[in-house]
Amino acid sequence: MKPIASKPQAGTGIVEAAGAQPAAGESFAADVMAGLSARRKQLPPKYFYDAAGSRLFEEICRTDEYYVTRSETTLLRNVAAEIARDIPDGAALVEFGSGESAKTRLLLDAAPQLSSYVPIDISADALCGASGGLTRDYPRLIVAPMVADFTGHFRLPACAEGRPRMGFFPGSTIGNFDGDHAVRFLRSARQVLGIHAALLVGVDLIKDPARLIAAYDDSLGVTARFNKNLLLRINRELGGDFDPEAFDHLALWNAAQSRMEMHLVSRKDQIVNAAGGTFAFRKGERLHTENSHKFSVAMFARLAAEAGWSAIKIWISDAPQVAMFRLEPVLGGSAVPPSEIP
Ligand code: AVI
């Protein structure tokens, strides 16, 4: 893929990665058409995150059952000083899918030697909200937000040029990538960050399926609303006529693929119109909306190695366990051979 030029958004200080990508609405319509026409109906989870979906996700993070955010925040708070010791003077912190940059402050507080922070997100609104507060609270830090699809290839802004770079990808979002997409993302992050870089990645670890299922099917029904918001979003943006009450939320553990899955299950035979197409659902038919892969330490180290990264340090939280990996590019040899990682 060719590098994409950057253009500033008027008056915001936010830089937008430009390129020959389809407009957001066009790809949503095309993905809905393709996903609902498939033999096994499915939709990409990235479409969960419109304004309503992002608010529901924040609410999920506050439920008793969804441990991922709490465990990772506590872990980061405990190890931020240790992480910071290995961040060189003047380094740039580059966050992929930064959202509200909530966990970033733990690193910024622990590593005053950082010269700049580049939050990258597909949502200009989220970047705007987060950047103002950071500029106020860290006056010596250059904050250079970028609107981009962080899974693609783009060039970092000038403040990160010629500086050591620390990539940051918390939240277990890597688990939402399917098949070789996780490897492709890690490869492209390696290209974007360059060889004098490190990457911190937050990963959810395999645990008791009952714990996992509760986290993705909370008792207040917030995750169910998050899942069904995808149908409401199709109604709002693509002229759909989904009745969310005609679908049940389903969260299941797929042991063979080591992942949690979310589905919407049709409660009856029904016909739905959306994105200019007409789609038949049989009673009990599933629409697959999300995979959330869970890893052992060895599994994730192997995945990172496939993408040219070596696991240098691994921190694990108290139960329910999540992990934070510090990866460095493999330069002709791995510091911790994946086969020797427990
Ligand atoms: C954003 N992502 C890491 C969440 C996850 O755990 O896969 C999304 C989510 N889906 C349901 N609950 C939370």
Task: Set out the domains of the chain in order of their start, with CATH numbers.
Answer: 25-63+209-293 (no CATH), 67-207+296-329 (3.40.50.150)
Query: Is the peptide bond preceding residue 119 cis, with omega within 30 degrees of 0?
Result: no
Q: Which of 283, 224, 216, 281 is nearest to 254 (CA)?
A: 216
What is the reported pLDDT for 23? 60
pTM: 0.91
What is the reported pLDDT for 1? 26
- pLDDT greater than 70 at residue 334: no
Q: Which of 50, 128, 162, 176 is nearest to 119 (CA)?
A: 128
For residues 297 and 339, give the distance between their C-alpha atoms in angstroms, rounded to a whole number.
Answer: 11
Q: Tell me the pLDDT band of 331, cut-offs 50, 70 and 90.
A: confident
Orientation angle between helical segments 222-238 and 51-61, nearest 10 degrees: 170
- pLDDT greater than 50 at residue 8: no
- Nearest ligand 1 atom to alpha carbon 57: 13
Cβ atoms of 146 and 119 closer than 8 Å: yes
The answer for residues whose C-beta is within 8 angstroms of residue 133's C-beta and 6 or more apart is none
The answer for residues whose C-beta is within 8 angstroms of residue 314's C-beta and 6 or more apart is 297, 301, 323, 324, 325, 326, 341
What average pLDDT does this structure show over 77-102?
94
Q: Ligand 1 centre from 15 Cα, in Å? A: 27
- pLDDT greater than 60 at residue 22: no
Phi and psi (nearest 5°) for 264? -115, 125
What average pLDDT does this structure show over 143-147?
94
Q: Tell me the pLDDT band of 24, cut-offs 50, 70 and 90.
A: low
What average pLDDT does this structure show over 162-188?
95
Q: Residue with the nearest Cα to atom 1 of ligand 1?
A: 173
Q: Which amino acid is at 252?
A: L
What is the reported pLDDT for 340? 46
Q: Residue with the nearest Cα to atom 12 of ligand 1?
A: 216
Mean pLDDT of the chain: 91
What average pLDDT does this structure show over 129-137?
89
Residue to probe by mutation, ligand 1, list 172, 250, 289, most atoms within 8 Å of CB: 172
88-120: b or e for each residue (b if 16 or more CB lie within 10 Å)?
eeebbbbbbbbbbbebbbbbbebbeebbbbbbb
User: Higher confidence at residue 238 or residue 122?
Assistant: 238
What is the reported pLDDT for 5? 33
- pLDDT greater than 60 at residue 265: yes
Q: Tell me the pLDDT band of 129, cut-offs 50, 70 and 90.
A: confident
pLDDT in tens, 210-232: 999 999 999 999 999 999 999 99
- pLDDT greater than 50 at residue 96: yes
What average pLDDT does this structure show over 326-333?
85
Q: Ligand 1 centre from 178 Cα, in Å? A: 13
Q: Which residues line ligand 1 (CB under 6 A)?
A: 60, 68, 171-173, 175-176, 216, 223, 290, 292
For residues 130 and 140, give the distance between their C-alpha atoms in angstroms, rounded to a whole number.
Answer: 16
- pLDDT greater than 80 at residue 234: yes
Q: In this structure, what token pair is assigned to residue 231?
A: 């149908």
